[in-house]
């Protein structure tokens, strides 16, 4: 089984989200968080032959899924970009002022959490990555290897809502000082 098909995602509130768009058969729509294509597939079912759908995602596995869908349906195109860049992409396509609707299903998807190699979950060992697009930016392991204790504590508290953020940050910095080359996954659980 391929990695793409083995990481299944069930789209939550699928019908409700697409119904809220009041899809016009000839409309131009944008799925800013393509993921595994649940919303896009339903949108395509409702679009007529003159309708268009543009999907965005940063995740390489989502892009592979989107490319397979685009090969099946010429009304769909997927791009590997952040939805934050949608204005630029829409302008490049000459779609400025012509969008009928935009859908954003924000957050990490089940396949990203379930895949240990993505590093989004503490439930299994894997590299500490945590990037939507693993080819861009700094991994969590790289960041934590250079960040100061106060910065680590701030991130744990602000983004992880961790009440023991200071204690955890102290333990990370201590382990890092004891063995700078150790992988974060070998660090003790706090």
Can you give the pLDDT of all 190 residues of the chain as single tens digits? 334 444 556 777 899 999 999 999 999 999 999 989 999 999 999 999 999 999 999 999 999 999 999 999 999 999 999 999 999 999 999 999 999 999 998 877 777 777 788 777 767 777 888 887 888 899 988 998 899 999 999 999 998 899 999 999 999 899 888 877 665 555 555 5
Instruction: Spell out the alpha helix ranges (H) of the chain.
Output: 3-6, 14-20, 38-46, 60-72, 86-92, 110-114, 140-146, 149-160, 165-178
Q: Which of 89, 76, 112, 101 is nearest to 18 (CA)?
A: 101
Domain 3-106 maps to which CATH number in 3.40.50.150, 2.60.130.10, 3.10.20.30, 3.40.50.2000? 3.40.50.150
* Fold entry, domain 111-186: DNA polymerase; domain 1 (1.10.150)
82: which DSSP letter?
A: -
44 touches 53 (CB < 8 A):
yes
pLDDT of residue 31: 97
pLDDT of residue 183: 57
Instruction: Spell out the alpha helix ranges (H) of 60-136.
Output: 60-72, 86-92, 110-114
pLDDT of residue 56: 97
Q: Which two tokens stand for residue 109?
A: 């998807």
pLDDT of residue 109: 73
pLDDT of residue 182: 61
Equal fold, 3-106 vs 111-186: no
pLDDT of residue 189: 56
Domain residue spans of the chain: 3-106, 111-186
């Amino acid at each position: 089984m391929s990695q793409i098909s083995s990481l299944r995602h069930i789209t939550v509130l699928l019908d409700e989200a697409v119904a809220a768009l009041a899809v016009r058969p000839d409309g131009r729509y944008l799925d800013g968080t393509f993921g595994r294509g649940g919303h896009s597939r339903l949108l395509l079912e409702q679009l007529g032959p003159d309708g268009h759908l543009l999907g965005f995602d940063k995740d390489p596995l989502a892009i592979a899924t989107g490319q397979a869908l685009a090969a099946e349906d010429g009304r769909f195109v997927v791009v590997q970009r952040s939805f934050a860049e949608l204005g630029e992409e829409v302008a490049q396509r000459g779609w400025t002022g012509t969008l009928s609707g935009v859908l954003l299903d924000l957050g990490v998807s089940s396949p990203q959490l379930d895949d240990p190699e993505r590093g989004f979950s503490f439930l299994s060992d894997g590299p500490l990555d945590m990037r939507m697009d693993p080819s861009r930016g700094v991994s969590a392991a790289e960041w934590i290897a250079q960040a100061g204790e106060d910065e680590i504590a701030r991130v744990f508290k602000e983004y992880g809502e961790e009440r023991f953020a200071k204690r955890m940050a102290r333990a990370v910095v201590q382990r890092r000082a004891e063995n700078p080359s150790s992988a974060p996954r070998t660090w003790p659980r706090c």
